[in-house]
Amino acid sequence: MFKKINLKGKTALVTGAGKGLGKACAIALAEAGAKVITISRTKSDLAKVDKIIKKTKGSSKSFVCDVTDLDSFKILLKKINNLDILVNNAGTNRPEHFTKVKRGNMEYLTNLNMKAVFNIAQLCAQKMVKAKNRIKIGGSIIHMSSQLGKVGCEGRNVYNMNKFGVEGLARGMACELAKYNIRVNTVCPTFVETPMVKAFFKNKKFKNKMLKNIPLGRIATESDVATAVAFLAADSSAMITGTSLVVDGGWTAQ
Amino acid sequence: MGLFLKDINLKGKTALVTGATKGLGRGAAIALAQVGANIIAVGRNISELKSLGKIIKKLNVKYTSFNCDVNDYKTIKNNITKLKKLDILINNAGTNIPEPFLKVKDSSLETLLNVNTKAVFNIAQLCANQIIKLNKKGGSIINISSIFGLVAGQDRTVYSMTKFGVEGLTKGMALDLAKYNIRVNSVCPNIVLTPRTKKYFANKKYNKYVKESTPLDKIATVSDVATSIAFLASEASSMITGTSIIIDGGWTAK
């Protein structure tokens, strides 16, 4: 009856795998048995992740690549034989008040959080549908979204725009890729203990204000999010597509 | 638990499952037992409770059963307040009487509101109070909702009214119970083949409607839903509260 989270025999690609959530996802997927392909701009970060995966007796291969550099990503994909799972994670944030958002920042965020997310998803999906047994073995694409893909928040208007967009993309992709048995979902975490959030939380006033919005009274751990990603990657969630797993301690329930 | 991947493990936990003798309730009871939970089954049919007990006991966990109707508040209260251990509630008992809106019988409305709304509320309240009394570490409550808690369906006005209600209750409970670290979520399956829905699927037109409404082109299995329930019951989802896991093959993504 119960379907264990088991990714043995699967190959998973994780973008933004050098730090934070991407790193946690890569390690969690390896722990669930997947062969993991880690992508990041920073070689030394990738080396650390590979080392951890090796220690836990997992399998990984890393590629240094900027996800906004499509040509490099295409070349990289050619070097991979098979792909079953994509964790489309690379993304960032530059909080600014709406009236003060610099055009350069809007461009930068949108290029990374939307354009690259779309392009990477499309290229990976094209690769995934080529597998002759795809319908039988299925596939899973998980976009790293956010609770801010569901609700607004001060100083996050560009990020809101990007992540709401990712929520829309996931639903559209789910409808189109269903016939290949490729499922597409998002994970929507609240603030997570990552290097990015640690920087925001140096502002104590902001931290306390944000914590007040989380009924469970704590921020998420990387492990909370990575486990949700592994659940969506595995056949444990074989009927789940076009939806979001909200890991927010109740933030958006209010 | 791995470095980042959390186990779905309920060893030492006690779960109460309503409507446990058939369909989703039975599946949930077995799945939770498979990952180590002791089971308290509530159902109306003694012989079915006994046969469920045989299966559960084989999984080396404890099994108790209450032969009672979820509408019988006095008996339910009496049973729940006497419990010595309780960590998890699977608030599953529910029913449906499909009728076109203009022809809904008063008695059907009464039955659905009693079972799907009032009994769901009462049992959730009784169990929440008991979990708080017994267990300082918190717990997890899973309300069995439906895609018709999110969208409408033909001849499902009353069912949708009750299941939209369950979605609201889930979010409200999540807020009120967060300070006790009791998480509250729902699962929203599309139409699962169970003893109750078997008669719907006998109708060719209905079959076609379900098929055409589900991008993944298959119906959810009891195992699909039970696995999500086990995930929500366990610490693997410790930051997930006030939300729903939608197990609908993309039905509501369209």
Residue B112: CA count within 13 A, CB half-sphere: 21
Q: How far apart are CA A69 and CA A240, in angstroms?
A: 31
Q: Tokens for B82, please give them.
A: 């006497």
Binary contact (B178, A239; C-beta < 8 A): no
Residue A31 to chain B, least CA–CA distance (Å): 7
In the A/B pair of chains, how many CB contacts fall below 8 A? 177
Confidence of residue B85 (pLDDT cuts 50, 70, 90): very high
In chain A, the N- to C-terminal Cα span, in Å, equals 34
B193 touches chain A (CB under 8 A): no
Strand, coil or helix: A38:
strand
Sequence-separated (6 or more) residues with CB below 8 Å from residue A126: none
In eight-state DSSP terms, residue B148 is G
- Determine the average pLDDT of the residues in B12-23: 97
Q: What is the mean pLDDT of each successive set of 10 residues along chain A, which is 254 residues long?
A: 97 97 98 98 98 95 97 97 97 94 96 97 97 97 97 94 96 97 98 89 92 96 98 98 98 96
CB atoms within 10 A of CB B178: 21
Q: How far apart are CA A188 and CA A244, in angstroms?
A: 7
CB of A38 closer than 8 Å to CB of A46: yes
Sequence-separated (6 or more) residues with CB below 8 Å from residue A99: none
Handedness of CA B229, B235, B237, B240 (dihedral sign): positive
What is the largest distance, in Å, between two alpha-carbon atoms of chain A? 54
Q: How far apart are CA B155 and CA B141, in angstroms?
A: 29
By the 10 Å C-beta count (0-12 exposed, 13-18 middle, 19+ buried), B110 is classed as exposed
* Beta bridge mates, B140: B88, B183
Q: How far apart are CA B112 and CA B119, in angstroms?
A: 10
Name residue A17's amino acid.
A
Strand, coil or helix: B223:
helix
ipTM of the complex: 0.90
Residues B178-208: tens digit of each pLDDT = 999 999 999 999 999 888 888 888 899 998 9
Residues B104-120: tens digit of each pLDDT = 999 999 999 999 999 99
Confidence of residue B1 (pLDDT cuts 50, 70, 90): confident
**If residue A170 lies in a helix (H) or strand (E), which one and from where to where?**
helix A157-177
> Which of B4, B223, B246 comes nearest A31 by C-beta?
B4
Q: How far apart are CA A221 and CA B198, in angstroms?
A: 42
**A window 218-237, beta carbon within 8 A of B:** 218, 220-228, 230-231, 236-237
CB atoms within 10 A of CB B145: 28
Residue B159 to chain A, least CA–CA distance (Å): 22
Active-site residue flag, A159: yes
CB of B119 closer than 8 Å to CB of B93: yes
Over the Cα atoms of chain A, what is R_g?
A: 17
Chain-centroid distance of CA B251 in Å reads: 20
Catalytic pick from B73, B159, B200, B206?
B159
Binary contact (A253, B226; C-beta < 8 A): no
Handedness of CA A244, A247, A248, A253 (dihedral sign): positive
- CA B188, B192, B197: angle at the middle one, nearest 5? 120
Position B84 scores a pLDDT of 97
A135 touches chain B (CB under 8 A): no
Residue B216 phi, psi (nearest 5): -70, -5
Residues B144-161: tens digit of each pLDDT = 999 999 999 999 999 999
**B window 126-185, beta carbon within 8 A of A:** 170-171, 174-175, 178-179, 181, 183
B8 touches chain A (CB under 8 A): yes
Residues A154-201: tens digit of each pLDDT = 999 999 999 999 999 999 999 999 999 999 999 999 999 888 889 989
Chain-centroid distance of CA B76 in Å reads: 17
Asked if residue B96 has pLDDT above 90, the reply is yes
Chain A environment of B170 (Cβ under 8 Å): 253
Chain B environment of A28 (Cβ under 8 Å): 2-5
Task: Supply the mean pLDDT for chain B.
Answer: 96
